[in-house]
Structure 1
């Protein structure tokens, strides 16, 4: 029986010590948060000081570590709980703490130096608070610290050389603070593992240290925008990996933009709002301020006087002008000949013949028979199989109908097309799609569009010809088109193995191994990069999703439906719904896709015009779907009895912040095959870069494609 004694009026000292010692040392350190937060007793109602262990407390993660019989605290995640208070220094006593997530709260005051006594710390996420003060000098004490995100606070002061001691650091994000001063040299060469650097929206000034080019592991976007950096851009920036995109907007850089290395891969947006910058890719040429004539340059300014150069041109210049004149005359002659033959080809041949449904019809190209018609009754659209030759009903092409082959090597006649067997593949606001097997056994995909008006014929032809000039192995090829007042058809390659969406959902026989998924991602990225950078119109697809990525028998991807919405608008059809696919197979008739699931946030505003960065975001979502096997919105169990609809992009981001095991995020079908963790992580990081909320931060598709090509199976 325990007896209590009164000593100077203080009663149960012994009892208090026994009571307090019931909770582990990790639990006692965590209780400091409860005391530091306003209303802590209510917010942390399940954090009871009478418990033996804190491992069942909300927001606390424990694990067994070597040398300790009891589980130890390895993670504290209290993000987004509107907590108001200060960060207690006692958190530094958590010897095995690996990740600390306190972001998106209202913590104020400085970051205590003592926190970094937790030497097992891998990741610290304090962004989105009201923290102030300087960057702690002890921040690099944890030898394995990899992720620091202190953005969206009120931190100030300068960047000191001690930051170079974080040699394992992979991500340093200090955006949206009040840091100032110059960045000293000697830091960046020490950060050999850094893959992300974001110093945007601060007050840094001075020139960039030349050794910034030694960040050889950098990927994604180097973001130095919205600061006061000045001076010339160091040529060493060009030594960064080619996959790195620059964001140097809103600074005071001056001089000519170097044209070496990575500089050549940047677009003009990377350098905007630097008034003193000039040179490519900006639309501002650099002036030559030298008043002297460079050696070897002749002056052709006429002078007066016996001792001055005489009037007239030098013999060499006369020869040069003569050659230029001759070349100009020859060029004009070639243009005239070209226009003559083009007009002769298009207008010089006209014939009148008997139409299939009676009446005379004129075609510009006599090499094609004067026949019309194609199955277009609603009953055929609802059937699974039809015969194109049995079309009946309707007058087909009408006055002026024409079948135009875009690819001259792909020869067939309209009559052959009409006689062929046609299989309905799908019907939607984007038109009815048929699989048509021609007489030579070659299948093509034929899409019927809306009627449209005759007054938009030239606009339609211009769009179709631009699409037809796109030639890439990962883009569906348009072969021909047919135009008449009441019939418009697009004839393209038929891709035989369905689409990626069906394969991901197990609706086809395609087995999506890791190597297959990686090759699909690479091919799709190449096709999109071609559309963005090299196609005649530098197309924006605007609707990238798995159902628009068609697969052939070799599982090679083919992007379909690019430019289609524009054609639908011209023909007067309703493009709001999705379904049939140019060159594709049966769409999701039972499980229609929600287009918005793949759209970039800014694309959901109807007033915004499509941009290439929309496609980058959508492609990033497709990458996450390939990695996780989950749809952009999926059902995630919250308890044993309820589920919630989770957003795939946010779910993956949260998983990385909380260091969720990779096996919990990767598609279970890949777990037995994927052993190269680095490859999977590389694709995850690339996908997260593509799905950044800010479109300016997203990389270009060319950069994405180059990054994927570096990932090996």
Structure 2
């Protein structure tokens, strides 16, 4: 009897514990139970803390790490899973498909393996699926487009294989399709791309695709950034229909087996040679490879037949010798003429004097004059100093005007009142008001380099030839053994950094969207001119808001280009207080040095790199993101961290990946301008294209400028 009672007590205890566990399990919401399948599917490591707060005793999973929820009819439902970069090993469980309100699934940068379960696409509310940088295998799931609102799909950097199914044509809402760095093969499907009216990004690079490029890719009218088909096995001719893509689109067709001539219509005119490299049988502009007689002609018309067909037999040796001798004689004759003209001009009694002792703005038009270039009026001339004619300036110190309409003398400059505008590694800048009331900006660039005078003048002349309404104009320069100065226009309304974030603790004025777009447009035009049209095709190398000056109409003016080279020539520290200007100016005061430059492109942060135009494109993109968000990429301990983002580019990219509302990304000051939403989104896409980590994928500034010019018109 005693034994029977003991047995009943044990059974009661077991049943009690069973019901307690069951009660706790059933107390968790269905969404929470589905998420526990993900926890079970991950190979737990002893030190893993990712799921430490995923407690089955909770009623909902809404406070679990990586989980976001929203209320639906009063019930909290899971809408987001963000567990990227957690070094998770495991498989993706099919139970996640039961999360009917799930919108964003971010499991990228982990070590998930196996195939993508078909049942996952029962979560029909999904609009963003980020599974890139895992070890996923298998084929492209045909049922993925059963998700009606899918906008962002990134499966790149996995081991997925097989062809792309025709069912992809049903993903009509897709905006970003990124399948790069997998093992997809077969032909790129045709006949579907014209249906994708919302596609902004297409990246099929680094796969095993073969066959020809589909003609209907040219019907992707909404595409932005780069059409990337590089590192595949594509063959045949490049379809001319790609020229119908928006002019803002860059091509990346590198490392394929494409052949024939590159079309010269539409968007092809904006592509550089990098877009077509490593296609041995490809020819024509912009590659430095002629297409031969059958396709020779003007770059704009590669199909033009040649007017002359060379005979099949080669020229005789004697005829070749005669032709060579005639060529040599012709070159020698032309050389004699050039030398004769040079000495006639040098000995002319009207030869110029470019020393600092004369007044500037005279009427002499001789060796000191340089015609304007690149679309400027060639009759307008600038008076500039030739190094070989300026020994007196070198010895005594000379003030040389670059523009003939700019008239003043050194004594006038020294008598003028001045105060410090700023100080940086590129020298102290003063505002100087001349006797006629005109203010100018005077920059001290160094005290050394007296042995490199001709080199200095050559650099200043090149800078002085740059004439564009969005670039600060250099008006004159001063050279002496112990002092070098640059005199340029004074821009009256401060710089973009102050306009966005205030100065000296004072709040900034609110910049409207139209003003910000005007600043972005003008800066893009100025940079495009420096890159494409300036005499030297300059690289600025230091684009940031503090170098974008604003006038009273908030038109931007790019400053400080070409100065790094001048600083290296003059050698000494330009910020010392001695020398001519240090003694003459009584208003010198200490100023803060600029903060560390965080606008540099990733490749620019490696010591010893040579600046490129793509550096400028990246810096411009960061600056535009700052215009859009109102947040600075610079982190300073002296400022409120609420306005500072350690990596602004990554922060914005993550926001778009997670499909955050625009109100979470844009500057709150712009939220009232609802009419500008489409323009704001378009500018975001341009800025993100400019800040691609791979410099080859960044657009040219000319393309960026054309994109901006089509906005707000």
- Give the TM-score of the pair, scaled to structure 1: 0.82
The reply on whether 1:343 has 2:346 as its aligned counterpart is: yes
SS in 1 for 2:78: strand
Q: For residues 310 and 601 of structure 2, what CA distance do their matches in structure 1 show?
A: 57
The residue aligned with 2:250 is 245
The residue aligned with 1:267 is 272
On the 8 A contact 1:61/1:73 being kept in 2, the answer is yes
The residue aligned with 1:562 is 561
On the 8 A contact 1:167/1:192 being kept in 2, the answer is yes
Give the 5 Å matches for 1:87-486: 87-288=92-293, 339=342, 343=346, 348-349=351-352, 363=355, 366-367=358-359, 399-486=395-482
The residue aligned with 1:354 is none
- Cα deviation for residue 411 of structure 1 reads 2.6
The residue aligned with 1:51 is 58
The residue aligned with 2:316 is none
Structure 1's 345 and 131: CA in aligned 2 closer, same or farther, altered over 3 A?
farther
SS in 1 for 2:446: coil
- Cα deviation for residue 450 of structure 1 reads 1.3
Structure 1's 345 and 69: CA in aligned 2 closer, same or farther, altered over 3 A?
farther
SS in 2 for 1:168: coil
Q: For residues 365 and 154 of structure 1, what CA distance do their matches in structure 2 show?
A: 74
Q: For residues 311 and 50 of structure 2, what CA distance do their matches in structure 1 show?
A: 84
Report how many aligned residue pairs link the two structures. 637
On the 8 A contact 1:346/1:364 being kept in 2, the answer is no
Q: For residues 126 and 575 of structure 1, what CA distance do their matches in structure 2 show?
A: 52
Q: For residues 493 and 435 of structure 1, what CA distance do their matches in structure 2 show?
A: 10
Structure 1's 674 and 4: CA in aligned 2 closer, same or farther, altered over 3 A?
farther
Q: For residues 646 and 513 of structure 2, what CA distance do their matches in structure 1 show?
A: 24
Q: In structure 2, which of residues 25, 42, 45 is the aligned counterpart of residue 37 of structure 1?
A: 42
On the 8 A contact 1:444/1:492 being kept in 2, the answer is yes
Structure 1's 592 and 275: CA in aligned 2 closer, same or farther, altered over 3 A?
same
1:7-47 deviation per Cα after TM superposition (whole angstroms, max 9, x unaligned): 9x988776665443222211111111011001188531211
- Cα deviation for residue 94 of structure 1 reads 0.7
On the 8 A contact 1:634/1:648 being kept in 2, the answer is no
Q: For residues 191 and 532 of structure 1, what CA distance do their matches in structure 2 show?
A: 35
Structure 1's 118 and 591: CA in aligned 2 closer, same or farther, altered over 3 A?
farther
On the 8 A contact 1:469/1:536 being kept in 2, the answer is yes
Q: For residues 656 and 486 of structure 1, what CA distance do their matches in structure 2 show?
A: 54
Q: For residues 655 and 125 of structure 1, what CA distance do their matches in structure 2 show?
A: 13
Alignment RMSD (CA, Å)? 3.6
- Cα deviation for residue 557 of structure 1 reads 0.4
Q: For residues 438 and 343 of structure 2, what CA distance do their matches in structure 1 show?
A: 36
SS in 2 for 1:412: coil
Q: For residues 9 and 472 of structure 2, what CA distance do their matches in structure 1 show?
A: 87
Q: For residues 209 and 488 of structure 1, what CA distance do their matches in structure 2 show?
A: 60
Structure 1's 642 and 248: CA in aligned 2 closer, same or farther, altered over 3 A?
closer
On the 8 A contact 1:5/1:12 being kept in 2, the answer is no
Structure 1's 344 and 171: CA in aligned 2 closer, same or farther, altered over 3 A?
farther
The residue aligned with 1:543 is 542
The residue aligned with 1:669 is 669
1:306-343 deviation per Cα after TM superposition (whole angstroms, max 9, x unaligned): xxxxxxxxxxxxxxxxxxxxx99999999679746763
- Cα deviation for residue 672 of structure 1 reads 2.8
Structure 1's 298 and 35: CA in aligned 2 closer, same or farther, altered over 3 A?
closer
Structure 1's 557 and 78: CA in aligned 2 closer, same or farther, altered over 3 A?
same
- Give the TM-score of the pair, scaled to structure 2: 0.82
Q: For residues 575 and 220 of structure 2, what CA distance do their matches in structure 1 show?
A: 46
- Cα deviation for residue 289 of structure 1 reads 5.1
Structure 1's 588 and 158: CA in aligned 2 closer, same or farther, altered over 3 A?
farther
Worse-matched range after superposition: 659-668 or 459-468: 659-668
Q: For residues 150 and 588 of structure 1, what CA distance do their matches in structure 2 show?
A: 54
Q: For residues 587 and 236 of structure 1, what CA distance do their matches in structure 2 show?
A: 62
Q: For residues 338 and 402 of structure 1, what CA distance do their matches in structure 2 show?
A: 29
- Cα deviation for residue 485 of structure 1 reads 1.9
- Cα deviation for residue 295 of structure 1 reads 9.6
1:499-533 deviation per Cα after TM superposition (whole angstroms, max 9, x unaligned): 11111112276431221111111111111111111
Unpaired runs of 5+ residues, structure 1, are 304-326, 351-361, 370-395, 581-585
On the 8 A contact 1:75/1:98 being kept in 2, the answer is yes
1:403-453 deviation per Cα after TM superposition (whole angstroms, max 9, x unaligned): 222222223333332332222323343222221222221111111221333
The residue aligned with 2:382 is none
On the 8 A contact 1:635/1:645 being kept in 2, the answer is no
On the 8 A contact 2:355/2:393 being kept in 1, the answer is no
Q: For residues 488 and 707 of structure 2, what CA distance do their matches in structure 1 show?
A: 31
Q: For residues 403 and 441 of structure 1, what CA distance do their matches in structure 2 show?
A: 19
- Cα deviation for residue 278 of structure 1 reads 0.7
Structure 1's 301 and 155: CA in aligned 2 closer, same or farther, altered over 3 A?
closer
Q: For residues 427 and 642 of structure 1, what CA distance do their matches in structure 2 show?
A: 27
Unpaired runs of 5+ residues, structure 2, are 1-7, 297-303, 314-329, 362-391, 582-587
On the 8 A contact 2:230/2:252 being kept in 1, the answer is yes
Q: For residues 10 and 126 of structure 2, what CA distance do their matches in structure 1 show?
A: 45
Q: For residues 328 and 707 of structure 1, what CA distance do their matches in structure 2 show?
A: 46
Q: For residues 421 and 347 of structure 1, what CA distance do their matches in structure 2 show?
A: 37
Q: For residues 416 and 182 of structure 1, what CA distance do their matches in structure 2 show?
A: 74
Q: For residues 688 and 590 of structure 2, what CA distance do their matches in structure 1 show?
A: 27
The residue aligned with 1:496 is 492
1:172-216 deviation per Cα after TM superposition (whole angstroms, max 9, x unaligned): 001111111111211211211100011111111111011110111
Q: For residues 504 and 297 of structure 1, what CA distance do their matches in structure 2 show?
A: 60
- Cα deviation for residue 240 of structure 1 reads 0.4
Give the 5 Å matches for 1:501-520: 501-507=497-503, 510-520=509-519
Q: For residues 613 and 296 of structure 1, what CA distance do their matches in structure 2 show?
A: 37
- Cα deviation for residue 5 of structure 1 reads 12
Q: Identify, as 1 or 2, the structure richer in helix.
A: 2
The residue aligned with 1:393 is none
Q: For residues 126 and 539 of structure 1, what CA distance do their matches in structure 2 show?
A: 41
Q: For residues 178 and 141 of structure 1, what CA distance do their matches in structure 2 show?
A: 23
- Cα deviation for residue 145 of structure 1 reads 0.3
1:66-118 deviation per Cα after TM superposition (whole angstroms, max 9, x unaligned): xx330211111111110100000111111011110000000000111111111
Q: For residues 612 and 501 of structure 1, what CA distance do their matches in structure 2 show?
A: 22
The residue aligned with 2:69 is 62
